[in-house]
Amino acid sequence: MNLHLYIDYGPVLLQGVVFTLLSSAGALVIGLLWGLLLCLLGQVNNRLLRLFYQLYLTVFRGTPLLVQIYLVFYGGPFIGIELSALQVGIGGLGLYSAAYFAEILRSGFLSVPPGQIEAARDLGLSRWQVLSQVKLPQMLGLVLPAILNQTILLVKESAILSIITVPEMMSAASRMSSETFTFIEPYLFLGLTYWLITFLLARSVRLLEGTRAATSLDCEDTACKT
Amino acid sequence: MQNVGKPVIKLINVTKRFGDNSVLKGISLDVHAGEVVCIIGGSGSGKSTLLRCVDFLESYDSGEVLVEGRLIGYGSDPAGNLTRLPDWVIQKDLANVVMVFQQFNLWPHKTVLENVMAPLVLVTRMNKTEAKTKALAVLDKVGMAHKADAYPNTLSGGQQQRVAIARALAREPKIMLFDEPTSALDPELVGEVLKVMRTLADDGMTMVVVTHEMGFAAQVADKVVFLANGMIEEQGAPATLFTAPQSPLLKSFLATWAERNVGFFG
């Protein structure tokens, strides 16, 4: 181990970490918002919208992220789509994750008992109020572990962006490796940093779950009965 | 009970089918202001569906449901064809009608107080202080004010149902529909809910109650309606209907009920 390398490549690696965090965060925001919108569109009683939802899932879940990103980044310019590597990276990762987030959220919506929604509508709550007051607060606790899982995958998948020249962690480590002919130092750093990011992510979600559990939101089977 | 004026609920030849299954085969029924109408009948007789059609939780296929003189759920388009109204219009037309459900349907992530306050703040746009005062008042009426800060899942079924009644009551309805309000309760908890319902009836609330509680029907109802196979088989004042049933179906229904209880009272 040559620890001196970390000082020489400190700025490069740090930039890599920043770009990884930036593209993951951007993709997460896009993925969650677009995923929620997709999921809501898929629930509308309209055949075209539901078909669109199914089609979206088929395309984005059925093909590798790498292929999607290659197509847009290298194929895009041929059909007039010229985007920067970072734009394609964040957008691609976001659109790809949205398909998974949409399905996670859909399972959350299914978990809210229809009677509660019926009662809300009966008392005069609008569709939006039913969503924001009855559905979302209850399902978020339930889908949080699955959302976390998908977010961890998203952070690790962001390594793929190195292939389209986004200067994120993977690409920084590769550069360090090829320039210094070392392997242990760069990839050990890489592995540990990915682990640290996902560990902190998991911890913060755990804390969030803890505060939610403290307010006792979940309906235990036995307690729900008369 | 004098049935003066127009009925507040009027059903004219209402039908409803689920696929091949004809659940309501032409129901006509009048409910006047201040009346308590109990609907009884075996399972599958269509009594819950009937109630849900009044509140348009279930759409009906033909006939008319009129609440306070308004046709519920459907309106005429410019060409004169009957079309289904948008949900918000239906909600507005039914603003004076609330339903109390068999499964209470409280929102588990909100406290008792928040459950009662939410519709006031969200729908009637009351400010929070006002809504809280109002919510505590109705909770007090059903004897649940002391549990205002509890979550529903910490309450017994009877308590949950009383909170659900308070939540409905807070909306100041003119008509309350009860869909088997005590059927999901342990036997010892039925009484407290019926007691609250009796108070409402005494206060002059218009109530339509689908129930298996014959005692409640006999004592509180102005009119009892017996449903069988999607049709009104017999209706009348509880005194005559329970003591001198005319239709064979009602006779056997009441006999089964009496038989089940005879051993108990012994």
Of B188, B90, B166, nearest in space to A126 by CA: B90
Residue of chain B whose Cα is closest to the Cα of A136: B109
Asked if the Cβ–Cβ distance from B171 to A120 is below 8 Å, we say no
CB–CB contacts below 8 A, A to B: 80
- Mutation for testing the A interface, residue in B51, B105, B110, B160 having most A CBs under 10 Å: B105
Measured distance CA(B152)–CA(B149) in Å, rounded: 9
Instruction: Evaluate whether residue A113 is within a structural domain.
Output: yes
CB atoms within 10 A of CB B109: 25
A-chain CB neighbours of B158 within 8 Å are: 226
Question: Is residue A220 pLDDT above 50, yes or no?
Answer: no
Instruction: Evaluate whether residue A1 is within a structural domain.
Output: no
* CB-based burial label for B164 (10 Å; 0-12, 13-18, 19+): buried
Instruction: Evaluate whether residue A3 is within a structural domain.
Output: no
Of A32, A40, A129, A205, nearest in space to B123 by CA: A129
Contact A157, A93 (CB under 8 A): yes
Q: Which residue type occupies B153?
A: N
Helix (H, G, I), strand (E, B) or coil at B210: strand
CB atoms within 10 A of CB B249: 19
Measured distance CA(B124)–CA(B181) in Å, rounded: 25
For A194, list phi and psi in degrees, rounded to 5.
-60, -45
Helix (H, G, I), strand (E, B) or coil at B24: strand
Give the count of domains, chain A. 1
pLDDT tens-digit profile of A24-46? 999 999 999 999 999 999 888 88
Question: Is residue A90 pLDDT above 80, yes or no?
Answer: yes
Q: Which residue type occupies B42?
A: G
Instruction: Evaluate whether residue A157 is within a structural domain.
Output: yes
Give me the sign of the Cα torsion angle B18, A120, B95, A128: negative
Asked if the Cβ–Cβ distance from A119 to B87 is below 8 Å, we say no
Choose among A127, A133, A226: nearest Cβ to B186: A226
B-chain CB neighbours of A134 within 8 Å are: 107
Tokens (6 digits) for B111: 């406290």
Of B177, B180, B235, nearest in space to B205 by CA: B177
Instruction: Evaluate whether residue A27 is within a structural domain.
Output: yes
Query: Which segments of chain B have a pLDDT < 70?
Result: 1-4, 262-266
| Start-to-end Cα distance in chain B | 35
Q: Can you give the residue range of the structural domain that contains A113?
A: 10-174+182-225
Measured distance CA(B253)–CA(A181) in Å, rounded: 90
Res B169: pLDDT? 93
Work out the average pLDDT over A197-216: 79
Contact B202, B185 (CB under 8 A): no
Half-sphere exposure in the Cβ direction for A122 (13 Å, CA): 32
pLDDT band at residue A53 using 50, 70 and 90 as cut-offs: very high
Residue of chain A whose Cα is closest to the Cα of B152: A224
Res A216: pLDDT? 44
CB atoms within 10 A of CB A43: 15
Residue position matching structure tokens 């064979």: B248
Work out the average pLDDT over A48-77: 92
Instruction: Evaluate whether residue A170 is within a structural domain.
Output: yes
A165's torsion region: left (phi>0), alpha (psi -120 to 50) or beta? left
Asked if the Cβ–Cβ distance from B118 to A125 is below 8 Å, we say yes
- The CATH number covering residue A100 comes to 1.10.3720.10
Measured distance CA(B200)–CA(B206) in Å, rounded: 9
CB atoms within 10 A of CB A53: 21
Quote the ipTM score: 0.88
Instruction: Evaluate whether residue A121 is within a structural domain.
Output: yes
Instruction: Evaluate whether residue A194 is within a structural domain.
Output: yes
pLDDT band at residue A49 using 50, 70 and 90 as cut-offs: very high
Pairing verdict, β B74-76 and B82-84: antiparallel
Tokens (6 digits) for B43: 């399972």
Res A19: pLDDT? 93
Report helix angle B112-122 to B128-141, nearest 10: 130
B57 in A contact zone (CB under 8 Å): yes
Asked if the Cβ–Cβ distance from A134 to B107 is below 8 Å, we say yes
Q: Which residue type occupies B187?
A: P
Q: Going by C-beta distance under 8 Å and a sequence separation of 6 or more, which residues neighbour residue A150?
A: A31, A97, A100, A101, A104
Asked if the Cβ–Cβ distance from B153 to A216 is below 8 Å, we say yes
Res B3: pLDDT? 56
Choose among A115, A134, A216: nearest Cβ to B101: A115
Give the rounded distance of the alpha carbon of A170 from its chain centre.
18
Tokens (6 digits) for A223: 């307690």
Res A224: pLDDT? 40
What DSSP assignment string belongs to A184-199? HHHHHHHHHHHHHHHH
Question: Is residue A219 pLDDT above 70, yes or no?
Answer: no
A116 in B contact zone (CB under 8 Å): yes
